[in-house]
Amino acid sequence: MNLFLLLKRIVYYQKDKVDEKVQLIVRADTNLGNILLNIILQEGLPTSRLGKNNVMIVCVPTPESKPPPTPVLVRVKTGEEADELLSILEKYKKGAE
């Protein structure tokens, strides 16, 4: 398992050695660090930059129940961090490391 730290301990991603899937975990910037988003990055997952400091990810929250895709907005502090997050998401969606 590979763990990478990004954006001041809020966004993590890890790659499973067995099935090569990359998991994205977003935690709240609080003492408890509640999990806000926990998804597997897939190649068909739409991601885009919105506004000054936002990255939108369209995902299916629970694949077993077949709900409609849900847009999730990840807000970071600066535009540079948003660019960095988007480039990392694009890189790991394709399975590259």
- At 23-47, the pLDDT tens digits run 888 777 777 778 888 888 888 889 9
Task: Give me 69's structure tokens.
Answer: 């895709």
Task: Give me 30's structure tokens.
Answer: 């609080």
Among 9, 10, 12, residue whose Cα is nearest residue 88: 12
In the chain, the domains with their CATH numbers are 2-93 (2.30.29.30)
The band of 5, judged by pLDDT with boundaries at 50, 70 and 90, is very low
The band of 92, judged by pLDDT with boundaries at 50, 70 and 90, is confident
Task: Give me 10's structure tokens.
Answer: 């809020």
Question: In angstroms, rounded to a whole number, what is the distance separating the alpha carbons of residues 56 and 77?
Answer: 15
The sign of the torsion formed by the CA atoms of 75, 88, 15, 8 equals negative
User: H helices of the chain, where?
Assistant: 79-93
Q: What is the pTM of this model?
A: 0.73
8-state DSSP, 60: -
E-strand stretches of the chain: 2-6, 11-15, 22-27, 35-41, 47-50, 54-59, 70-75
> Is residue 55 pLDDT above 50, yes or no?
yes
